[in-house]
Amino acid sequence: MRTDTTPPEREQRRGLALYLGGIAVCVLLIGIGAVWGNVHYTRTLERSRARQAERVRAECAERGALFVARIPGNLPATDPQDDAWDVAPVLEVPLQRQALTMPMLEQASVARVELQALTDGSAIAFRVSWEDPTQDTHVDAGRFADGVALQFPLTRNAAFTMGDRDQLVQILHWTALWQLDVDEHFQDVQDLHPNMWVDLYWFAEGPPWRLPDSFQDPRSLQWLVGYSAGNPLSDFRRRSPIEELVAEGFGTLTVQPRAVATGRGVWSDGRWRVVFSRPLATDDPLDYRFWLGGSGKVSAAVWDGSHGNVGGRKHYSNWVDFEVSP
Amino acid sequence: MPERFNWQIGRPMAYPYDGPQPERQVAYVFDTNKCIECQTCTVACKTCWTSGKGQETIFWNNVETKPYGGYPLEWDTRLLDQLGPAEWKGKRLASRTIFEQATGKDSDKQPPFGHRPAVEDYAAPNVGEDDITGLVEKGGHFAGVHPIWMFYLARICNHCDNPACLAACPRRAIYKRVEDGIVLVDQERCRGYQECVRACPYKKVFFNVVSRISEKCIGCFPRVENGEVALCVQSCIGKIRMHGFLTTRGEPREDNPLDYIVRIRRLALPLYPQYGTGPNVYYIPPIHVPTRFLEQLFGPGVEQSRRLYRGLAGDRRLLGCLLLFGATDRMITRFDVQGEVAIGWNDAGEEIARVPITEPSWVRDHYDEKYDAYRHNTT
């Protein structure tokens, strides 16, 4: 065998090769170790998070607080009948008739709500469900729709009675009427009174005189004063069954111009099930902030339309604590 | 709850807000003796203000037939049934107003006493109201009060001194303007709770099913701001209406037609003063209707008012003032009767109406010589 190198050079190279090989092996070993360690660490962390979540869940159950369980993906953000809700922890929250301010609710008809919440790590969804034998979806003279609201304190000492001056609360509000507006179409006069007949509405194209299609000419909107004044309640192009509001005491309820909450309510078997969902955090300072592993307060209000519930004539709960899974 | 004096009931009463008196109070006088229920006022108002989607059964102005008619159905009799008849001791109301019904520790949390009409109550205005039940005996029309009677009652928002709608609104979305006392629902702020609909004893706040908030007569404020009378007043072919202002800060003025008719002469009376809201549409009661009925509607001043009305021919100043009804489309804030004419002026001091006390008349010959023609009475 012929070589071009001298023995000492060869020795030198062999040494170098061994040296480099050794380093490579070491690096490999360290790498394997690191990966193994990392996996082990993650597993431990997961186990520890699961244990911690379990502990929080147990504590919540003990303290009568709501545990916001974390689920991997597919948050049932707009489906109150999703299977995930069957296994989510439930907190039963008692309601009472509003008798603190005018106008009071004379008689209570809803005793309690069941409250649940889930998070996927970036958004949170609450489900409220309660017994209501009648599905009240429309409003008219002396006729009112079912509804539900969740309230969160924006300042530490905000009262559950819709806050107080400089003690703000945020409120997410759903009504059965808005759900129908979104699911079907804007609930118009025809939906309330199918046999109605009107010869004409100025500047509108019709029949069938439906909003918004027949009312494209801006002049036809002159008589829709609430809409023209920008009242959110009069918006016949509503996209969400939920509105976001802030309040600092009775009578101060104010709609937030920007809303991120979504949701949906479904009535079946004498029960409303309504989901509210939104990102954990937003950049709006008047939005409540949730965070993983954090805790907070929530309260609920329910309106039973067929019992004349509207505005202050409602059922409400005190604050209840909730803790979000880490 | 703060108290305020209500001159219509001759005593102080509880009212939840201690607001200032407006600088002046928009007010109307309706002469029921002249109304023929032609509904021109109703149509003028509806065409202008409430002909939109959701306003199908909303009539800020309506005219109904008393005693049985009412829009919304039984708006007044239902409340009367619940409250019982008004009791007066002279000019002082002895019974309780709608603001004084609640008793006990939570009385401050009770809205004014009221009721909510149902959807059907708005569905058929005027239907069946004029069906007669008998005939007046020959010559009975001239005998004063009839045994069988009816009359027309034109109604708009009363722009009350103590509005029940305002007191009932938990959001304070209803306000009374300082400049003229017109009561308005803030269309941006209202959330459609219908508390105002329940509280207004006259049922003159309406729920709009399309805008899903409450609406009411705006007193034609864009016209009032320009010194023009409301459309229901301008369009009245029977000239039964006068639109002006009552003096609120200071004594009633002899030369203010509204002050003169309402406060000084007390010819025109508030509708259901016993409710305590201080309504500002004042009615000259019909002269042919039994007093007992009218006193439930207009309070204890009915007989005196009727005496004045019957004696109008010799009451030049009052007669002159009434002749200014419908004489101009602008708001008369000062008037005078000078010799054989009644004159009205506006805020700027411009003469806007001049009406003779007695209309001149001419009798023309049966035969016209110039045209060689005979004149015939064709009616």
Question: Which one, of A155, A157, A156, lies nearest residue A168 by Cα?
Answer: A155
CA angle B314, B317, B321 (to 5 degrees): 120
In this structure, the number of other CB atoms found within 10 A of the CB of residue B222 comes to 9
Q: B320 Cβ partners below 8 Å, 6+ apart?
A: B335, B337, B341, B342, B355, B357
pLDDT of residue A1: 44
Q: Tell me whether residue A3 is in a domain.
A: yes
Cβ <8 Å between B111 and A102: yes
| Percent of chain B clearing pLDDT 70 (strictly above) | 99
In a domain, B291, yes or no: no
Residues A51 and A153 in one domain: no
- Is B285 within a domain? no
- Picking from A63, A90, A110, the residue at the C-terminal end of a domain is A63
The ipTM, to two decimals, is: 0.91
Of A102, A140, A209, the CB nearest to B119: A140
Other Cβ atoms within 10 Å of A319 Cβ, number: 17
Chain A: which residues have CB within 8 Å of chain B?
99-104, 139-143, 177, 188-189, 192, 196, 198, 201-202, 204, 209, 211, 215, 222-231, 233-234, 236, 250-251, 253, 310-312
Q: What is the pLDDT of residue A3?
A: 45
Beta strands in chain B (DSSP E): 3-6, 11-14, 24-31, 62-66, 88-89, 92-93, 151-155, 174-176, 183-185, 205-208, 213-216, 241-247, 269-270, 281-284, 334-338, 341-345, 351-356, 367-368, 373-374
pLDDT on residue A11: 66
Which class for B281: exposed (0-12), middle (13-18), buried (19 or more C-beta within 10 A)? buried
Averaged over successive runs of 10 residues, the pLDDT of chain A (326 residues) comes to 53 66 67 70 76 88 93 94 96 96 95 98 97 98 97 95 96 98 97 92 94 95 96 96 97 94 97 98 96 97 98 97 96
Report d(CA B361, CA B365) in Å as an integer. Answer: 13
Residues B289/B295/B297/B301 CA torsion (nearest 10 deg): 100
Rounded to 5 degrees, what are φ and ψ at B23? -60, -40
The model's pLDDT over B275-327, given as tens digits with 9 standing for 90+, comes to 999 999 999 999 999 999 999 999 999 999 999 999 999 999 999 999 999 99
pLDDT of residue A2: 46
Test B50 with A223 for CB contact under 8 angstroms. yes
Omega prior to A326 cis, within 30 of 0: no
Average of per-residue pLDDT across B352-371: 93
Residues found in chain A: 326
Q: Are B301 and B323 in contact (CB under 8 A)?
A: no
Query: A189–B215: do the CB atoms touch at under 8 Å?
Result: no
Record: contact A234-B171, CB cut-off 8 A: no
Per-residue pLDDT band for B18 (boundaries 50, 70, 90) equals: confident
End-to-end CA distance of chain B: 63
Tell me the pLDDT of chain B averaged across its residues.
95
Q: Count of A–B CB contacts within 8 Å?
A: 127
Which tokens is A222 given?
Answer: 């002159």
Tell whether the model's pLDDT for residue B118 goes beyond 80.
yes
Owning domain of residue B155: 3-133+145-227
| Predicted pLDDT of residue A244 | 98
pLDDT band for B377, please (50, 70, 90 cuts): confident
**How do residues B264-283 score in pLDDT, each as one tens digit?**
999 999 999 999 999 999 99
Q: Do A77 and A112 have their domain in common?
A: yes
Domain finish residue from A44, A63, A82: A63
**In this complex, do B53 and A188 lie within 8 Å of one another by their Cβ atoms?**
yes
B-chain CB neighbours of A141 within 8 Å are 116-119, 121-122, 194, 197, 206-207, 209
The residue out of A39, A63, A87 marking a domain boundary is A63
Residue contact B106–A104, C-beta within 8 A: yes
B373 within a domain of the structure (yes/no) = no
Continuous segment of H or E residues that includes residue A320: strand A320-324
d(CA A321, CA A66) in angstroms, rounded, equals 6
Question: How many Å apart are CA A113 and CA A148, to the nearest integer?
Answer: 10
Are A3 and A10 in contact, with CB atoms under 8 Å apart? yes
Question: Which of residues A129 and B134 earns the better pLDDT score?
Answer: A129
Question: Is there a contact between B210 and A234 if contact means CB atoms under 8 Å apart?
Answer: yes
Q: Which domain holds residue A8?
A: 1-63
A104 CB neighbours in chain B (<8 A) are 106, 109-110
The mean per-residue pLDDT over the stretch B116-132 comes to: 91
Q: How many domains does chain A have?
A: 2
